Structure 1
């Protein structure tokens, strides 16, 4: 075969001549010759016959392979072309791998975008649903507040007409509406100095002493050191948080404690700084009118001194409720009745603020105003009688 034909065959052939002869590219010339003879005998026309076309084509291909590989110059061309084809196959394989990876990554991204879009759509639907729910809930709450306000106004009108009807009876006649009161609105704080006589007071003892104001759900007691005004060093104290079952009980504990501690010093004299746990009275508790203090001729008793930034100060409402009313004739002081003087103040087992709780406070404020007015009239009558007697 001509050299040009061999070169053309070496460059364009798709056959692997080394694999065809079952030798390695580094085989020697003698190994190439032996391999060719051994393989060619199997497909020689004299052995397989002229009718075996496939064997004849294989024999001619073996001859071409031997001619290409036995010529060093042509073999070099074939090796270079073979390596180039193998490199191309490898590049194609790597490219296919990268293409497949890019395709899979693109599919994942598209899937993620689709999922994110679905999540956004679901979130938007959920948001709109929540807005509708909040709007409906707000509308319902507004109606409830309007109903509560209407009932409170009716209750005030009935109390003005009823006159001597007790708070408990009025609440029972007019019904109640329950609602949830947060624990902090039913919680009060107090403290007492830690000394030899008070070290044995535990949570159960504190609970038993303050249950007179109302049922208590639980009590938390812990020791701490407080800086008291006028003292150089911090003093050991026990601080307690009492969660009442009813806001009425908590209110009674805050407002009636000063009077109770004076009347029963052996039981309550050790306790200090009884106040709301939040530092202020709940907003929904009815406030007494400003005129309730106009008849008082003495300033209100100051609240229990508290360490700065440690225990919240007593609210102004607590001071007002504990303001004494002085007689015009100088015959002593008459205390304004507190919540504890009304039957049914500690409503044990009641764990929700209700219209009856708020109404109870409102009724007691009204009762207190009537008592003040009665005392004022009696004092005016007594003063007028004394003036006539002097004349």
Structure 2
């Protein structure tokens, strides 16, 4: 196949490639290939016993025609040039027709004048003014020819200017697309500093908690809006999703009940921690209160099945003293298994939390330091905000995957037990 520049040069050819292949300008690309193969067999040097130079030239022209018409961009250039040639030919035909008409009218008038002169008296000399009509006809014909020529030139200029504008617009569009692609690539390659986000750069799975309740009593009316109002005090919520209800066995008696599950994704992992840690206390406090939505909640746990390993804190008083530089007392060992967090400048209650307000993310570094964690320290910004390091996030994901595997195994065991119990119940009814 010829190069792109050669094809562009052939696109300006005066030869009609469509007529050469025996197809119409609206023919599809597959039909062009079929027509080329069919026509090329007639002039292929290997298919002709004694090929002449004309046959070889014709075969070469067929190859050029196929290369030009099979490339969409080159074909468009050829179609534009071909349309311009056809338009010029039509203008020339119209001009020739006008010339012929005017010439025929002039000859008819001359014949009529000659006939009138033949019918008059002989020997009368023709006056000088008798040729004025012929001169006017010639001048009129010349003016019409000039007008048609000027109109054709004007049309050609308009077509050329239009094609030039279209080419410039297409080039600008291509440049704009290239610039947009380059900017998108630059944006994707830029590193984003999320040290100020306060734990928002943690994956959604690590910032999500699951809420489970029984579809009985007050639990019948729990929906996304009421769940959002219940958990908003722990921190900003990105989204709330209520999953499909399931029949599960609950309690010591393993009774089947309709259980609803909701997933709450917090904007920060701090809100998720506060929800998991404080929800148990609120559920206990609302026990026996029929008008409290917390009484309908059965449990609140991490959506990943495992608590993210951000670092367990020591005693609140010890962590606070270490962060404020006032370590007057020795650190006490962490009594509860749950992690605790220290927030400087905030008055804490007995449970280590400020009621009604979600803690900030700035305590994770101090909590991890107080606990003497052997993991790498998280990145800390100028205002004291910290985020989990890559090593911590990786460990969290590994533990999450292990916990998910164990959860699926437990679900499968419970499902088999349910099937066995259902089969036994069906068998007892059948007997």
Which category describes the TM-score, using the shorter chain as reference length?
A: 0.3 to 0.5
CA radius of gyration, larger in = 1
Q: TM-score of the superposition, structure 2-length normalised?
A: 0.33
Which of structures 1 and 2 has the larger relative contact order (alpha carbons within 8 angstroms, sep 6+)?
A: 1
Q: TM-score of the superposition, structure 1-length normalised?
A: 0.36
